Amino acid sequence: MNIPNYVTLLRIIIIPFFPLIYLKYSFFKIDLLWMPYILLFILAFCELTDLVDGFLARKRNQVTDLGKVMDPMADSITNISVFLTFTQSWIDIPILLVFVFLYREFFINTLRTICALKGVALAARKSGKIKTLLQAIVSITIVLLLIPFTLGYLSLEKLRWISLGLVSIAAIYSVISAVDYIYANRKYMKKFLAE
């Protein structure tokens, strides 16, 4: 464990507050009008720590095998937590869409774990980074849409249709990035399957 990895761990600790605030804002005595801003802060904090841990790891020459595994895992936990939250209440995206993200992450993370056990740390692919960035943009955009919705300027129907479209785009690209990851690491998969 080093500072970049602790920063990554902090992201994993903070993200559960996202569904808590979205689903139980009244329990915490948070005004509905303030709720989107708090969610936005949580997402911004998670995205900022994602940038900081990578920057620190490279600057301090502290890129580790643990970090290579933990950082994508933190990304997965963050994004899936957010999208699962969006299956509830106002946004109400179909849970089947979230399964696309879940299956993709479980499969890729299982592949990473198998390789790690065999002594090979698979680094993130560019398509995976784009996938993470796209999911972050979609999440932040949907939370931003909650602001005009809570103010009464955006109808529930429009909020749901726009959210569904955005999450569908992210889900399609998630599958594309999985195919790219599998293809790029096919030699390891063939090798381990042959053993």
Per-residue pLDDT of 89-134, as tens digits, reads 899 999 999 999 999 888 887 877 777 777 776 666 788 789 888 9
Q: Which residues contact 121 (CB under 8 A, 6 or more apart)?
A: 65, 68, 69, 112, 115
pTM: 0.85
Q: According to the model, what pLDDT value does residue 40 have?
A: 95
Q: Does residue 46 contact residue 39 with C-beta atoms inside 8 Å?
A: no
Q: What whole-number distance in Å separates Cα of residue 167 and Cα of residue 144? A: 14
Whole-number Cα distances in Å, 148 to 52, 107, 117, 153, 165: 31, 37, 48, 5, 18
Give the alpha-carbon dihedral of 5, 2, 63, 104, to 10 degrees.
Answer: -20
Q: What whole-number distance in Å separates Cα of residue 77 and Cα of residue 16? A: 9
Q: Which residues contact 195 (CB under 8 A, 6 or more apart)?
A: none
Q: Does residue 146 contact residue 78 with C-beta atoms inside 8 Å?
A: no
What mean pLDDT comes out for the span 25-31? 90
Q: Tell me the pLDDT band of 59, cut-offs 50, 70 and 90.
A: confident
3-194: CATH number: 1.20.120
H or E segment to which residue 22 belongs: helix 17-24
Q: According to the model, what pLDDT value does residue 5 have?
A: 75
Number of H helices, E strands in the chain: 8, 0
Per-residue pLDDT of 127-175, as tens digits, reads 878 988 899 999 999 999 999 999 999 999 999 999 999 999 999 999 9
Per-residue pLDDT of 68-88, as tens digits, reads 667 778 888 888 999 999 999
Comparing 134 with 58, the larger pLDDT belongs to 134
